[in-house]
Chain A
Amino acid sequence: MTARTAVACGSLALALASAGCLSFYEISVETPIRAKLDVSPFQRVLVAGFITGGSKSIDPNTETARLLRSQLRGKSELKIIDADVIDLVDVYDKQRSKPVPEKADEVRVKDERDVLEYEPILKDEKYWKMIGEEYQSPLIITGSVLFTDVSRSGMVSKLQGYTDSMGRPAYEERREFANMRGYALTPKFVFIDGRTGAQLYSEGFYEESLYSETQNTPALSSYFELMDKLLPSFLNTLSTQKIQGTRVLLVK
């Protein structure tokens, strides 16, 4: 038997075999997403505090620090430093001798323009080096978090139930004008080298959730809903994440 005949026989056998087999196979996959930042020089991480503002309904500084610390505890190999959350707005106002507002609960950061006014503190290497020395040169996480009320009006689609001429229940799409309100979250996470005070990486996001005007959604629950959308990307900065799913392998 020549080589060509052998190949032909093999091909025929494969063709016959594959004719009786499946042409596709579903398989589980774990897609790894590599960390955006090399954190190997650090053993510890400090979620320091943020420039925060917007709605008075929650305290974004405390809530963000608490949430990020708890997420990092479960999904990062770095040791989390438990320390008081720094009020960066206060620190920066003291640094530049800006008079403290008369009312204690007055919001000093109302919008993105106000955030920009306070952003120089995020680049203050001397300040962050000092914080780093205090906590044995950890990776420092800081940035800004703006949580604001949003309201919009416009056309929305709704499914409306009705009974058709035969008496059967049916649905149709109806567009109607509606007033919506909700919250917007604009965080910017800044990662700082606690040994030098220099910025290593920063990443900004924008997310919003809108609800019907009649729906009463607590601000804190909306805050967590919005943070949930950003957390995978935040965590992926520090550690490799694996996303589970299924794909279809083909033979045909």
Chain B
Amino acid sequence: MTKRLGLIALILIGLSAPALADKRSDAKAQVAFGITVAQKGLWKEATQRWESATVIDPSYASAWNNLGIGYEQLGNFDGARKAYEKALELEPNNTYIRGNYDQFREIYDRQNRRRVR
């Protein structure tokens, strides 16, 4: 009985691993295409690709980071903040994401600058 259960577990793991890899690969393809079009200035298309990537693989920090940049460029600051924060939640020690977020926050805070004293 135990042997049979172990076998089933192994089969399940074996089946799910390629599925997870497929998810990440699909998300990567969307991210890569998004970067190509963003480099041509097509930010709406790029942002849609990165949105798709985060739907395909919600644990993909790079997709969330790029989505933050896309939203920022389109003026959707609330969306950008949430996307960057999600990216940082997934990879808190990623210096690129932290750098992007810090620069975004500088603008975000400056825009909302009010009398401070």
Contacts and interface: CB of A to CB of B under 8 A. Distances in A.
Given A11-B25, A247-B72, A252-B62, A206 B117 contact: yes
A177 interface: no
A34 interface: yes
B16 interface: no
Contact of B69 (A18, A186, A249): A249
Contacts of B29: 10, 14
Interface residues of B, number: 35
A248 interface: yes
B115 A251 contact: no
Interface residues of A, number: 32
A33 B104 CA distance: 12
B35 A8 contact: no
B21 interface: yes
Contacts of B97: 250
Interface of A: 7-8, 10-11, 14-15, 18, 24-25, 27, 29-34, 186, 203-206, 232-233, 236, 243, 245, 247-252
26 contacts: A7-B22, A8-B18, A8-B22, A11-B21, A11-B22, A14-B28, A18-B28, A25-B39, A27-B69, A29-B69, A29-B72, A31-B72, A31-B73, A31-B104, A33-B107, A33-B111, A186-B115, A204-B114, A204-B115, A206-B116, A245-B103, A247-B72, A247-B100, A248-B65, A250-B61, A251-B31
